[in-house]
Amino acid sequence: MNPLSIIGLGYFVLVSWNIIALFRFHKHIPCMTGMMCSMVLGMTSGWGIGSVLAVQFPAYLFQVTFISMLLGGAVGTLAGIAIGLMPVLDGMLAGFMGGMMGPMMIGMFPAGTGETAVKLTAILLQGTLFLLFLMLGHELAPHAAKRGRAIYMKPLYLFLAWVALSGFMLLAEKQGSIAADRVPMTGQSQSESHRHGLTPASDSSGAVRSLRIEASDYSFSPGAVNLLSNEKLSITLVNTGSVDHDFEIEGTDIHIHAKPGETVRQLVELNEPGIYRSVCTLPGHKEAGMNAIVTVTKERLSSAAL
């Protein structure tokens, strides 16, 4: 489970709760209050969606900006529909603006720090959404009590719903991390894997198998490789992207770096069977999807598996 998914869930809970409140009590909300609510909801939604997507897909900043503008405008429009035309226009324009600001902000941060920026922004924006609900609750308290809906408008219930869902996703993320950590260990400690696993080999006699890895912006091809242990391997890294990339197998000494348009080869020998992850170690590239799985077996896999 990606931590950004938890942030996205927080936005969804807070935005949805506020919009439901607007629809349930729209007859008692003045136009000016509705305009402010739709503006806050549209702006925070576009900004939040844009920042999260910009970190997930840094190579598609234009597309991310366009999508976040549309979604932010849609949320602002939905929030304003219950009140009137002016809140609709205010919310839509605020959503467009937030959708532009989110990706723009992430693009201004150094590579590799985008996720931290998203977390800090989430604290600010989700805090703003909670304050919006407090304001609505204070203004609508008399009407909610008359209609028997005072429980829904209590901030404590919104807070508990946010904590419960976020906690569930955090638990799922922790369980997923534990399962992932077990994959590359293959029954030994990580230090043993580094010492006895994949290691660079000297160029000597014997058959050498060739492996071509193509690094683009931002992915490896192929994304999964099956190899035999104790065989010499010539890894060729071809960088077809527009920026530097490297190919590193975690827990080993194998690290190949290539500049844009460059082809680099390295001779290695694979000794220890296991499942390893290879990544691009440049800031932000692994998070953008530059990773692959290297499976080392004692015996050759069937042709279907290869």
- 3-state SS track over 67-90: HHHHHHHHHHHHHHHCCCHHHHHH
Could you tell me if residue 222 is inside a domain? Answer: yes
167 and 242 together in one domain: no
The pLDDT value given to residue 56:
75
**pLDDT, position 97:** 95
304 assigned to some structural domain = no
pLDDT digits (tens, 9 = 90+) for 217-236: 888 888 888 888 887 888 89
What is the domain range of residue 132? 3-182
pLDDT of the residue at 184: 43
pLDDT value, residue 169: 54
- Indicate the residue among 158, 182, 206 that finishes a domain: 182
Same domain for 169 and 81: yes
Which pLDDT score, from 0 to 100, does residue 241 have? 84
Q: What is the pLDDT averaged over residues 124-144?
A: 79
Number of Cβ atoms within 10 Å of the Cβ of 130: 18
pLDDT averaged over the chain? 77
d(CA 225, CA 160): 45
Shared-domain flag, residues 124 and 263? no
133 and 209 housed in the same domain: no
53 class by beta-carbon count within 10 Å (0-12 exposed, 13-18 middle, 19+ buried): buried
More confident site: 266 or 173: 266
Per-residue burial over 228-260, b = 16 or more CB atoms within 10 Å of its CB, e = otherwise: ebebbbebbbbbebeeebbbbbbbbebebbbee
Angstrom CA distances, 144 to 1, 28, 79, 240, stand at 38, 10, 19, 61
Residue 90, Cβ neighbours under 10 Å: how many?
26
C-beta of residue 237 within 8 angstroms of C-beta of residue 268: no
Question: What residues have CB less than 8 Å from 23, skipping those under 6 apart?
Answer: 82
Maximum separation of any 2 CA atoms in the chain, in Å: 88
Q: How confident is the model at residue 152 (pLDDT cuts 50, 70, 90)?
A: low
Q: Which residue has the tokens 């029954």?
A: 187
Q: How far apart are CA 15 and CA 22, in angstroms?
A: 11
| Nearest residue to 73 via CA among 101, 51, 105, 41 | 41
Q: Does position 5 have pLDDT exceeding 60, yes or no?
A: yes
Number of domains in the chain: 2
Could you give the percent of the chain with pLDDT greater than 90? 20
**Hey, is 284 helix, strand or coil?**
coil
Report the alpha-carbon distance of residue 12 to residue 154 in Å, rounded: 18
Contact 206, 232 (CB under 8 A): yes
The DSSP H or E segment spanning 101 is helix 85-108
Boundary residue ending a domain (142, 166, 182)? 182
Residues 28 and 84 in one domain: yes
Which range, of 122-126, 155-159, 166-170, 206-210, averages the lowest pLDDT?
166-170
Both 226 and 178 in a single domain? no
Pair (171, 233) in one structural domain: no
Same domain, 141 and 168: yes
Query: What's 160-188 look like in SS3?
Result: HHHHHHHHHHHHHHHHHHHHHHHCCCCCC
